[in-house]
Amino acid sequence: MSLLLEWAAVQLQSYVTLEHEEIVRLLELPPNPELGDVAFPCYALSRTLKRAPAAIAEELAQRINGEGQPVRAEAKGPYVNLFLKREDWAPKLLSPLLVGDFGQSQAGSDQRVIIDLSSPNIAKPFGVGHLRSTMIGNALAQMYRFSGYDVVTVNHIGDWGTQFGKLMEAYSRWGDEAKLKEAPIKESLSLYVRFHEEVEHDAALEDEARRWFWKLENGDEEARRLWQYFVSFSMEEFDRVYARLGVKFDYTLGESFYNDKMGAVVERLSELQLLEESNGAQVVRLDEEGLPPCLILKTDGTTIYPTRDLATALYRKKEMGGDLLLYVVGAEQKLHFAQVFAVLKRMDEEVADDCHHLPFGLMKFDGRKMSTRKGQVIFLDEVLDEAVAKAAAIIAEKNPELEMAKEVAEAVGIGAIVFGDLKHHRMLEVDFSLDEALRFEGETGPYVQYTAARAFKLLAKGGLSVEEAETLSQSGAVVAGGRYGQYLTGAAAWECLKALAAYPEAIAESLRQHEPAVLARFLLDAAKRFNRFYHQERILTENEEETAAKLLLAAAVAGLLRSGLTLLGLKTPTQI
């Protein structure tokens, strides 16, 4: 709940005959500071009082102003615009902001949320789509945790399926062990691409691939050995990426984990008489839902992607105790999830209702799309390297003396990519420009990181740490005696404070929409407002008390930007 609204409602309480909650619900935060800090629309009162809203607003404003409240009222049309007395309110707004867990809540009351994220495919490059899933999923996981949910993240690695048959066939025909050892994913990718080229004029390849996969599913030793080999080198490569991104998973459970759990699914479907034969395959018809049939067993009896997702959902619900099952997977799989959830609904309504696909749009890198089949792949590692190198060059120019420049460049380069992704609403298609994402003065991760570093630098200069500010707040010293308020009444400081105070709502809204972009935009706005303050006012002044007040604001900004960036998966260097 917004502190401002809460306070304004208390102020209004003695003037209107409405419940406190009702007043809070009616109050608005005006977009423009000229319309006050909080606005109260008089339509609801107008209905009960049977008078024109503007007349009520006029009278209300007069009464409020007549009583020397720490708020000034201005009637504007049907609204009463309330201007809080900054001197009194600034320290009250500031104090909670200084506490390390500001924004944290227990809203989730231990509900278990299971998040399916990242989920790249073995022996294929970690694609841009997987990057988006990793970053969006990770940000959601951290925000859920921050809000008191019991979060379990699962990396649902694509380690099973007919593509392994193709790979094994290609490897047995054209494979080169030395090459594979040296650059495993590149080599297996080129095998995969070659398979798709040659299969155009050699249809037998497809049958051979199918045979390999059949062997794998039936425990053939050679097939298992090759599979294990592909899995382990791919995981090494993925783990390198995760380490750079700073992402950890509670579980990495590949699709193969569900191999022995699909029999029960197929059995259950047949018990429920949902399975139908279609050209030798087994399907569940979904005519009622207006969806194409969901394929469960292929003609040769092998299972398929949807079958595994059915087993997965049931496992997450029944064995892992998930209350909410989220799938952060690209929008191109919308139909897949619609089908899987529709089949689930027939099997177990409750499970289906707790499942949600959170799709996201395509991302291109500097106009380049990616497709594994044609081999036009952008390797994530290379993109990350490029970003870090560019960040290093910018930093070397800006601050040649910087200590730990290498670590900072890594944090800023990768932060640029992560933030550049997360600041867009997830369904938007993103044409990612690295140079744009790295602009320190743009709407970028580095901009927020740089602003946080600026605040940290001020604190270091002024001799205050974020931890000391927290202690001051907890001791009550920030609000006591009305010392600091008078120095935080300038428009820039006040607007910055008000924005920061809305952090808890930004997180709640971000989760409600499952949009990390809401939090990313909040951080950009907070950073912008702090920079305005920084440029408009002197912070380190001769007046000790004034300096202390302004440093406290800087401490709030430093702490809060760091908290928000951490939730989004970015690091916050204290110097850039």
| Stretch of 113-121, 271-279, 347-355, 551-559 lying at the interface with ligand ARG (CB under 6 A) | 113-121
Please report how close the Cβ of residue 280 comes to ligand ARG at its closest, in angstroms.
25
Please report how close the Cβ of residue 346 comes to ligand ARG at its closest, in angstroms.
19
82 contact partners, CB below 8 Å, separation of at least 6: 8, 11, 12, 36, 37, 38, 39, 40, 64, 71, 72, 73
Of 15 and 257, the one with the shorter C-beta distance to ligand ARG is: 257
Please report how close the Cβ of residue 118 comes to ligand ARG at its closest, in angstroms.
9
Of 329 and 570, the one with the shorter C-beta distance to ligand ARG is: 329
Please report how close the Cβ of residue 337 comes to ligand ARG at its closest, in angstroms.
8
Interatomic CA distance for residues 463 and 37, integer angstroms: 32
Please report how close the Cβ of residue 352 comes to ligand ARG at its closest, in angstroms.
14
The two tokens of residue 541 are: 């002044």
| Stretch of 114-122, 205-213, 398-406, 421-429 lying at the interface with ligand ARG (CB under 6 A) | 114-122
Please report how close the Cβ of residue 255 comes to ligand ARG at its closest, in angstroms.
7
Of 356 and 406, the one with the shorter C-beta distance to ligand ARG is: 356
Interatomic CA distance for residues 166 and 348, integer angstroms: 35
329 part of the interface to ligand ARG, by CB under 6 A? yes
Spell out, one character per residue from 426 to 455, where the chain touches ligand ARG: x when CB under 6 A holds, - when not: ------------------------------
546 part of the interface to ligand ARG, by CB under 6 A? no
8 A C-beta contact, residue 119 and residue 155: yes
| Stretch of 5-13, 97-105, 116-124, 350-358 lying at the interface with ligand ARG (CB under 6 A) | 116-124
Of 254 and 504, the one with the shorter C-beta distance to ligand ARG is: 254
In Å, how far from its chain's centre is CA 576?
24
Of 27 and 154, the one with the shorter C-beta distance to ligand ARG is: 154
8 A C-beta contact, residue 27 and residue 8: yes
| Kind and range of the H or E run holding 281 | strand 281-284
| Cβ atoms within 10 Å of 46's Cβ, excluding its own | 17
Please report how close the Cβ of residue 381 comes to ligand ARG at its closest, in angstroms.
17
Among residues 480, 457, 568, which one has the least CA distance to residue 520? 568
Of 42 and 329, the one with the shorter C-beta distance to ligand ARG is: 329
Of 126 and 440, the one with the shorter C-beta distance to ligand ARG is: 126
The two tokens of residue 443 are: 């709407």
Please report how close the Cβ of residue 115 comes to ligand ARG at its closest, in angstroms.
11
Among residues 37, 242, 10, which one has the least CA distance to residue 126? 242
Interatomic CA distance for residues 66 and 174, integer angstroms: 89
Q: Which of residues 118-177 bind ligand ARG (CB under 6 A)?
A: 119, 121, 156, 158
Of 312 and 451, the one with the shorter C-beta distance to ligand ARG is: 312
8 A C-beta contact, residue 429 and residue 362: yes
The residue nearest ligand ARG at its CB is 158
Spell out, one character per residue from 309 to 328, where the chain touches ligand ARG: x when CB under 6 A holds, - when not: x--x--------------x-
Please report how close the Cβ of residue 298 comes to ligand ARG at its closest, in angstroms.
17
Please report how close the Cβ of residue 116 comes to ligand ARG at its closest, in angstroms.
5
> H helices of 14-153, where?
20-26, 43-49, 53-65, 86-97, 128-146
Of 53 and 158, the one with the shorter C-beta distance to ligand ARG is: 158
Please report how close the Cβ of residue 306 comes to ligand ARG at its closest, in angstroms.
9
Q: Side-chain half-sphere of 328: how many Cα atoms within 13 Å?
A: 28
Interatomic CA distance for residues 476 and 27, integer angstroms: 29
SS3 (DSSP) at 153: strand
Q: Which of residues 455-474 bind ligand ARG (CB under 6 A)?
A: none
252 part of the interface to ligand ARG, by CB under 6 A? no
Of 329 and 412, the one with the shorter C-beta distance to ligand ARG is: 329
Among residues 100, 246, 73, which one has the least CA distance to residue 555? 100
**Residues 41, 46, 50, CA angle at the centre, nearest 5°?**
170
Applying CB under 6 A, what is the total number of residues that bind ligand ARG? 9
Interatomic CA distance for residues 8 and 524, integer angstroms: 26
Interatomic CA distance for residues 214 and 203, integer angstroms: 17
238 contact partners, CB below 8 Å, separation of at least 6: 120, 126, 157
Interatomic CA distance for residues 414 and 134, integer angstroms: 13
Among 37, 116, 237, 470, binds ligand ARG (CB under 6 A): 116
SS3 (DSSP) at 457: helix
| Stretch of 115-123, 214-222, 290-298, 468-476 lying at the interface with ligand ARG (CB under 6 A) | 115-123
Q: How do strand 251-252 and strand 150-155 relate by DSSP bridges?
A: parallel
Of 307 and 547, the one with the shorter C-beta distance to ligand ARG is: 307
- For residue 100, the 8-state DSSP code is T
**For the chain, what's the residue count?**
576
Residues pairing with 151 in the sheet: 113
Q: Which of residues 272-311 bind ligand ARG (CB under 6 A)?
A: 309
8 A C-beta contact, residue 365 and residue 432: yes
Of 252 and 312, the one with the shorter C-beta distance to ligand ARG is: 312
Please report how close the Cβ of residue 158 comes to ligand ARG at its closest, in angstroms.
3
Of 139 and 329, the one with the shorter C-beta distance to ligand ARG is: 329
Of 30 and 359, the one with the shorter C-beta distance to ligand ARG is: 359
SS3 (DSSP) at 202: coil
Which residues contribute to the site for ligand ARG (CB under 6 A)?
116, 119, 121, 156, 158, 309, 312, 327, 329
